Structure 1
Amino acid sequence: MSKETHLVQGAVELCENLAGCRLAIITNGFTDVQTSRIASSPLSKTFEHIIISEEAGIQKPDKGIFDYAFSKLQITDKAKVLIVGDSLTSDIKGGINYGIDTCWFNPHLKVNNTEIKPKYEVHALTDLMKIVG
């Protein structure tokens, strides 16, 4: 499992187009599994930091993991941050609770029947380029 790398269509193109932006990953999971997956990915050198819940001792959507990430990245201005995630209950809820803009990556066109309302929603990763501009 830790050796498996499956990139979503458009991931490489998106990261190439966002080369001027600071990119980081915040992931719930185990350090060994996540670092191995990312290291074997063509995007392994793309991210400034990889924040893993096992190392942080806190999982999304808890605000603490965002405090941890912001500290690692030395970010003080929440207005300049966008979290993109496929989970409404961890990524989007966590971002909303932390006071940062959120974008739900929803490639399967799921209906959102929850009270969790992302600021943006995209169905293809390359659609993020329009948002980030």
Structure 2
Amino acid sequence: MNRYDYIIFDIDDTLFQYKKAERHIMSRIFEEENQSIDEDVYEALWALSWKYWDRYHLSNPDTEELQSRYHEYYHKHLYEYMDEMRERYHLKASKEILHDKFLDYFEESTESVENADFVVKELADRHCLAAASNGLTKAQNRRMEKYREYFQYVFISEELGACKPDRRFWEQVFQKIPVRPDNCLMVGDSIHTDIAGAAAYGIHTCWLNSGKRINDTGIQPDMEITNLNELLEI
């Protein structure tokens, strides 16, 4: 690991648990609506979330149109998700209000991926750290306050006007990071958005495969781990 000047982390499901964030959001919303929520409802809402996430290909924006309209589609997916949720569970708030609440409560959600806190602190003593996220500027900046003292840079797609795996995202990153791409390691959970785009730009890649998924994509990371603490052994 000492050969890398910079280690670049994805944010959601690499540093912070996204599913736990959604549970926090739904808990807040249902409490404010005086509605009960249980495990079955959480899982139904998670499936509903993915229905709209997949509709707009947000987990794999692999065309120029998807990449250029990523943030527009993010908001569309969220409005539609909130609209179906309010109808299914008879919530009083409008989809617009629920959309805004979702984003507000998302900012509060910083439950870390297993061992992230320890690994970030350890690696920050040996390397420069950066974060690279497809997301909304305000929300991701606020969440990254938890780790701000350890990170030299936080790159967010909305702010850059380009999203991973688009080459234009990485071009802007390396206008700031003062080293060559092959002196950096990208760590992320998405084989498509994190690994493929970084590798195409010449960055070394580490796939965080905590779910031990089978990789049948044809995309080969330089290394694969199932827990962040394995980074300390590389």
TM-score normalised by L of structure 1? 0.91
Letter in 2 for 1:32: K
1:90 equivalenced with 2:196 (yes/no): no
Residue of structure 2 equivalent to 1:24: 130
Residue of structure 2 equivalent to 1:120: 223
Q: Greater relative contact order (Cα 8 A, min sep 6): structure 1 or 2? A: 2
Once the two structures are TM-superposed, the CA of residue 79 in structure 1 deviates from its matched residue by 2.2
Q: Which moved more, 1:14-23 or 1:56-65?
A: 14-23
Of residues 166, 174, 177 in structure 2, which corresponds to 1:73? 177
1:6 equivalenced with 2:111 (yes/no): yes
Once the two structures are TM-superposed, the CA of residue 38 in structure 1 deviates from its matched residue by 1.2
User: Which structure shows the bigger proportion of residues in helix conformation?
Assistant: 2
Once the two structures are TM-superposed, the CA of residue 35 in structure 1 deviates from its matched residue by 0.9
Residue of structure 1 equivalent to 2:162: 58
Work out the CA distance in 1 between the residues paired with 2:154 and 2:185: 16
Deviation string 1:31-83 (CA, Å, 9 cap, x unpaired) is 011011112x2x221110000001110000011111111111222x2221100
SS class of match (1:35): helix
Residue of structure 1 equivalent to 2:140: 34
Work out the CA distance in 2 between the residues paired with 1:102 and 1:113: 17
Residue of structure 1 equivalent to 2:150: 46
Work out the CA distance in 2 between the residues paired with 1:129 and 1:66: 25
TM-score normalised by L of structure 2? 0.53
Work out the CA distance in 2 between the residues paired with 1:14 and 1:31: 24
Indicate the structure (1 or 2) with the bigger Cα radius of gyration: 2
Letter in 1 for 2:138: D
Gaps of 5+ in 2: 1-105
Work out the CA distance in 1 between the residues paired with 2:233 and 2:143: 28
Once the two structures are TM-superposed, the CA of residue 129 in structure 1 deviates from its matched residue by 1.3
Aligned length: 128
